[in-house]
Amino acid sequence: MSRWIEPVTLKGQHVTLEPLTPDHEEAIAAAAADGELWKLWYTSVPAPGTERAWIDAALAMRDNLGAHPFVVRDATGDIVGSTRFFNVDSANRRLEIGHTWYAKRVQRTPLNTEAKLLLLTHAFESLHAIAVEFRTHFMNHQSRTAIARLGAKQDGILRHHQVGKDGVLRDTVVFSVIEPEWPAVRANLKYKLAR
């Protein structure tokens, strides 16, 4: 069966995105430990001892739903986080970029900007997507600010959209970049990287 999104490695100057495998378990644990990211109640970063289940869930999403989970490597080659293409709608050429988290030491560095540039370039220029979505928890103000800074526009808020692992109802903020906006968003991301 042909898939719209095939495994791919995306490489830039500051970051490399490569397909997630079970062999990444130890490195995922170390990256999540930098900042104890699992303690952020509005994220889905694997807590100590849950890394294998987290990887298995990401790979099941790949196998059953057409998603593409990546590990994120910094310029030194260390794994510092994860991101993925998911909510894949190949018939309508739409997808979402999300499940993104980074070790504390690489947050607010050029790494995220370049990672998003690589992902969006692949989505719009190789996959010929017509729209790419980003979603985040309403309470995740850092993520909302970062998504807007990329050049994505807020589409709206889905109230009581999901039930969190702790039973708390999640309001989800939806952003997107559509195909005609891509040249301006690309120019903006390249400008940010050049500074």
Q: What is the pLDDT of residues 113-171, one digit of tens each?
A: 999 999 999 999 999 999 999 999 999 898 899 899 999 999 999 999 989 877 889 89
Domain boundaries along the sequence of the chain? 10-194
Query: Lowest-pLDDT range, 44-48, 59-63, 93-97, 110-114?
Result: 44-48
Task: Evaluate whether 93 touches 130 at the Cβ level (below 8 Å).
Answer: yes
How far is it, in rounded angstroms, from Cα 151 to Cα 181? Answer: 9
Residue 163 CB-half CA count within 13 A: 1
Q: Is the pLDDT of residue 45 over 70?
A: yes
CB 121 within 8 A of CB 85: no
What pLDDT sits at residue 35?
81
- Please state, in angstroms and rounded to a whole number, the distance separating the CA atoms of residues 90 and 42: 28
Q: What is the pLDDT of residues 77-108, one digit of tens each?
A: 999 999 999 999 999 999 999 999 999 999 98
What integer is the mean pLDDT of 170-175? 95
The CATH class of 10-194 is alpha beta
pLDDT confidence band for 41 (50 / 70 / 90): low
Strand ordering across the sheet containing 68-74: 10-11, 15-19, 68-74, 79-89, 94-102, 131-137, 169-178, 153-163
Backbone angles phi and psi of 14, in degrees to 5: -100, -15
What's the whole-model pTM score? 0.93
Separation of alpha carbons 79 and 26, rounded Å: 10
Query: By percentage, how much of the chain surpasses pLDDT 70?
Result: 98
